[in-house]
Amino acid sequence: MSFIIFSDFRHRDLVEILALYFLALYFAPLTNDKNRSYAYTNFIRALSAGGYNMDDMRFVADSILGRLAKWLRVLGYDTYYQTSYPPEVMDALIREGRLMLTRHRKRAEKSGKGAVFIHGNHVGEQLISLARELQMAPPPSTWFSRCLICNAQLRQALESEARERVPEYVFHQNMNQIRFCPSCGRYFWPGSHRSTMAAQLREWGFPVDH
């Protein structure tokens, strides 16, 4: 495996190659677990394409994991969620490259590499367990970058449009940080709710910029 990675990056700076090499070693133990090997495979594929980013890890959460789906979106992960799924819809989402998160052990076993069985009954322990299992380390710059309702990537709001859609004090204090969802039209900005959620992520062990 080391030879393959080096050959893929023979034109890169030596320091970058070594960094990628040690990352691969860090992920190597994941190949021993049929569920986690899916994440390892995506990681190596992303390295071969020139780098690893959060777009390479996409999820679909089953119908009883709505809170987990929400927190994954808070972290910036593309996480598809519905309150119910026809069987063919879930299968199609897995085929398109999404990793299924499920509380149903038999469903996880049936899906093999395409699924992860979620342990725990509370969203905090579920998120912590999943992050450890898949070695997830989302940078704080990606937090709060998705709509918590639609899962769409948020966009910078235009001043002319935001002025009529957010409270006046928010517009004047946070114009450069106002985002909107192109799917549902909701507007988002830094506030007490966001600060509370960031504090919860820190409590769960997710690092923040200093």
> What pLDDT, in 10s, does the model give residues 70-108?
999 999 999 999 999 988 898 899 889 999 999 999 988
Alpha-carbon distance of 118 to 100, in angstroms, equals: 10
CA distances from 48 to 17, 53, 59, 89, 185 (A): 12, 12, 21, 30, 37
Residues 119-151: tens digit of each pLDDT: 999 999 999 999 999 999 899 999 999 999 999
Q: Is 180 helix (H, G, I), strand (E, B) or coil?
A: strand
Alpha-carbon distance of 22 to 184, in angstroms, equals: 42
Q: Is 60 helix (H, G, I), strand (E, B) or coil?
A: strand
pLDDT(21) > 90: no
Strand partners, 100: 60, 115
**Contact call for residues 68 and 100 (beta carbons, < 8 A):** no
